[in-house]
Amino acid sequence: MAGGFFISKTVGIVAIVLGLGAVATIIALSVVYAQEKNKGISDVGTSTTASPGTSTTTTASPGTNTSTTTPAPSNPWNQWRLPATLKPEFYEVSLQPFLKPDANNMYIFKGNSSVVFLCEEATDLILIHSKNLNYTMQGTFHATLQAEDGGTLPAISRTWLETPTQYLVLQLGAPLQQGKRYRLSSSFTGELADDLAGFYRSEYTDASGNKQVVATTQMQAADARKAFPCFDEPAMKANFTVTLIYPSGYKAISNMPAENTTQQEIGGEIWNVTKFYTTPRMSTYLLAFIVSQFEPVENNTGKTVIRIWGRPEAINEGQGAYALNVTGPILNFFEKHYNTAYPLPKSDQVGLPDFNAGAMENWGLVTYRENSLLFDAEYSSIGNKERVVTVIAHELAHQWFGNLVTLRWWNDLWLNEGFASYVEYLGADSAEPTWNIKDLMVLNELHTVMATDALASSHPLSFREEEINTPAQISEVFDSIAYSKGASVLRMLSSFLSEDIFKEGLQSYLHTFSYSNTIYSDLWVHLQQAVDKNKVQLPDNISNIMDRWTLQMGFPVVTVDTRSGAVSQAHFLLDPTSSVDRPSVFNYTWIVPITWMTGSGRRNDTWLTKVRDTNNDFRLTSPDWLLLNLNVTGYFRVNYNQENWNQLVQQLDTNHSVFPVINRAQIIDDAFNLARARYVNVILALNTTRFLSRETEYMPWQAALTNLKYFKLMFDRSEVFGAMSAYMKKQVTPLFEHYKKLTNNWSNPLNDGLLMVQYNEANAISTACSYGVTDCQHLAANYLSQWRNSTSNPVPPNLRSAIYCSMVATGGDDAWQFLWKKFQEARVVSEADKLRTALACSPHPWILSRYLQYTLDPTKIRKQDATSTINSIASNVVGQSLAWDFIRANWRTLFTQYGGGSFSFSRLILSVTQRFSTEFELQQLEQFKEDNQDIGFGSGTRALEQALEQTRANIKWVEENMAAVQSWFESETRTK
């Protein structure tokens, strides 16, 4: 699954601080501006549930006989995990969604299902997952039981729904027989709610202004049980035969192609009945079915039928064309990469108006947010295009890794999502080879997640199986550590093994475990076999090397002293004084693969296997310099003695192109983070940005803007920000002029083959407008004026995020209302997203307060977009305190409306607290935690602890660095 926000994926704009020319004063606004890739995180909606062992009274649907139970905690139905007694083999599921509301104004679906299961151990108890389903009672029981093998059939003594742990329970009068098969059948009704989970309802307005309803699914992680009773754990693989009954005039699709469609009269109306071919053995969370009036665009030329589905207007406008063009090449790439044919006869991909995550890898029927699948060249930027191709590659990677071979339980989610988050860059590179997109992984995944993983409240990639039990706990595992750290350590592993050896082990793993389940260490076994076969020299076996990266949190900082050649490692913490409560059997030491180069042209690789060592290759004399971690293939930071740092900065100032472009970004990112952790002086970090006035590449600029964003967050409410703004203006003006010349005064758009060149153009404009470069603000004002007097939008798609923000920041309520109207009229989601985010750029508190209220009204801001809109407002210096007050006042409403399992709560908490740097703000945050203990924080629980830790670190950092930072910015901008 690709996250709905998830790790903030930059599309060329990370920090937007708007410069407003009022009496030469800069009102600093900070809006984190990104088409959010949200990779690695997911917005799996899961409602919170009572803890096991809660004494409960459960009832069946109204008007039926009910069983009341007050179970003891030790009973199997009080445990969150299924017992190992029964194993499903085959389901037949028939579902009938009603796409008009009933007499109670509810949307419902009716269903029948049966499951044939094998009894692995004799038992007199059947537990099967069921959530929010009302059963048609069969006599006095919720379900019926048959013996498939002609064996004796125990009688059912009673049945009940165990709501807290989401089970339908059947107590039998005698045990089922080991080795025998049985069939459990039931009929039920469920609500086709708009909660984005299970079998749910999505709505949109068609070209004629009519509301249309779509019945669709999101089963991951634990919501297949909302659609039909099932053994809803990933290791409980089975074959599924799905039948959908739906109104004429609609289309139905599922994981497999349709076998046949007939008509049937039900209640005086003609309904279509489509039976789909039986699936291969698969997990319940990958099941999908959709009833809609969507249209496809398709390609039948290869052996796999490829179809892109969406709203008819979107498909007719050609918005599915780009996805269709890249899907075939990406599938071909993965078939070769895995040395395994695509396992299904077709690949459907569907863009949904309402969808909580970024996308979901349902086998053969991948579902997406519209902005992650549909692309309109007239409205969509190169960043939208990158999002589409990378998310498609992420989900298609799962069709083998995750779907064909599935992790046994959610504690190993990191391997599933981390792997897809790594190879998505390889798949996207195969479809867009001129983009150099593989390099972006360092910025988008590695640097981003290190900020989280350097906190004492981080967690290891792998959890123990018993640590993850409840749906809310499962939901919390879908975080940036799983996605982005997972991707980064797998990239490191592939790098030190070589991609060919990595692929050889991967292919062996997939061939061995097809249609089965694994644990993470199974992959290590197969990679080790490839290592042994090819006689690859490693300092230890793969399991021992990788366990240090997966079973303990964090990462090392490797420190080198070029005077002596001494090299050492230590657990890197942004706050070195914070106490690490989580013990590690490896004592926070790692086996570190190191690549290096020197100023005199030598380069090689080595390993650091202990805490301290000496490497004579690292002993140098000035002016030679040493650079470690070439192209940042290793997941660690690097620190040097002061003399070597000085030489590196000197090299940047004289000829920065000697360093690989990724390492120019690395020097900046490492220096700033080492300064935050008090390993080096903050002045050293700031010195690494001086060369930017001569730099035109995207990655170093992006690294600098990301890191200077922290300075902006800490200082944009203080006098430091005046001097900082003057420095930023001085540094970005040459870049702005470079692009002005390159585009012939913004009249010639850049070539689409140049991804990063276009990204840095957006950086140049967003930064220049933000920090008050007059030419830039005039550019935005002129675009607004042209747009008001024209039927077409004059702003090039790549520049819209930056330009729209400047329009709102400088244009008052007139401009805000103009863009709000454009947002409401936007028929392309990526365009709506840009407008929605830009509307948070206003400097007026009353406008931002009104916008915050809109987030609680789904007719104004879609539910799926509410939290990211609040986050955008919180990123604005004027909006931050308003958003914090809003969150505190409305926490209960937000929590109730979205259910504690939605991943977006962690983002929300981190966004509204990101500027906190005073004791008073810390007290407010602690009070917020105390005031809401009764309702809780759901998937934001860990984020709240991280926010408290980050605030304490911010307080210390500001106290220690404010004076020196102000002095440095002032000295750099004095007329010399």
Catalytic residue ranges:
395
CA 944 and chain centroid, separation: 19
What is the DSSP pairing of strand 239-247 with strand 144-147?
Answer: unpaired
Q: Tell me, what amino acid is at 670?
A: D
Q: Which residues pair with 274 in a beta bridge?
A: 244, 261
Interatomic CA distance for residues 853 and 870, integer angstroms = 10
Residues 6+ positions from 219 with CB-CB distance below 8 Å: 198, 227, 284, 285, 286, 287, 288, 362
Distances in Å between the alpha carbon of 509 and those of 519, 520, 564?
Answer: 11, 11, 44
Instruction: Provide CB contacts within 8 A for 252, sequence distance 6+.
Output: 244, 246, 258, 272, 274, 289, 290, 291
800: enclosing H helix or E strand = helix 800-825
CB 130 within 8 A of CB 17: no
Task: Please list, in sequence order, all residues whose beta carbon lies within 8 angstroms of the beta carbon of residue 277, skipping any fewer than 6 positions away.
Answer: 241, 256, 257, 258, 259
User: What's the token pair of residue 466?
Assistant: 């018993």
Q: Which two tokens stand for residue 31?
A: 């809006």
Non-local (6+) Cβ contacts of 735 within 8 A are 692, 693, 695, 696, 701, 760, 763, 764, 767, 768
Torsion of CA 509, 511, 514, 516, to 10 degrees: -40
How far from chain centre, in Å, is Cα 176? 43
How far is the C-alpha of 553 from the C-alpha of 942, rounded, in Å? 14
Written as one string, the DSSP assignment of 882-941 is HHHHHHHHHHHHHHHHH-TT-THHHHHHHHHTTT--SHHHHHHHHHHHHHTTTT--GGGH
Q: Taking Cα atoms as reference points, which of 794, 799, 770, 796 lies closest to residue 783?
A: 794
Q: How far is C-alpha 827 from the chain's CA centre?
A: 25
In whole angstroms, give the CA distance from residue 861 to residue 855. 5
Q: What are phi and psi of 808, to 5 degrees?
A: -65, -40
- What does the alpha-carbon distance between residue 682 and residue 387 come to, in Å, rounded to a whole number? 35
Q: Which one, of 190, 229, 223, lies nearest residue 88 by Cα?
A: 229
Q: Which amino acid is at 815?
A: A
What is the spatial distance between Cα 84 and Cα 121, in angstroms, rounded to a whole number?
Answer: 8
Question: Which residue do the tokens 């039909």 mark?
Answer: 228
Rg (CA), the chain: 28
Q: How many C-beta neighbours within 10 Å does residue 148 have? A: 15
Interior angle at CA 609, CA 608 and CA 611, nearest 5: 85
Which of 819, 731, 745 minimizes the C-alpha distance to 779?
Answer: 745
**At which residue do the structure tokens 């988008």 appear?**
444
Cis previous bond, 433, omega within 30: no
Phi, psi of 585 (to 5 degrees): -65, -20
Could you tell me which of 397, 500, 486 has the C-alpha nearest to residue 446? 486
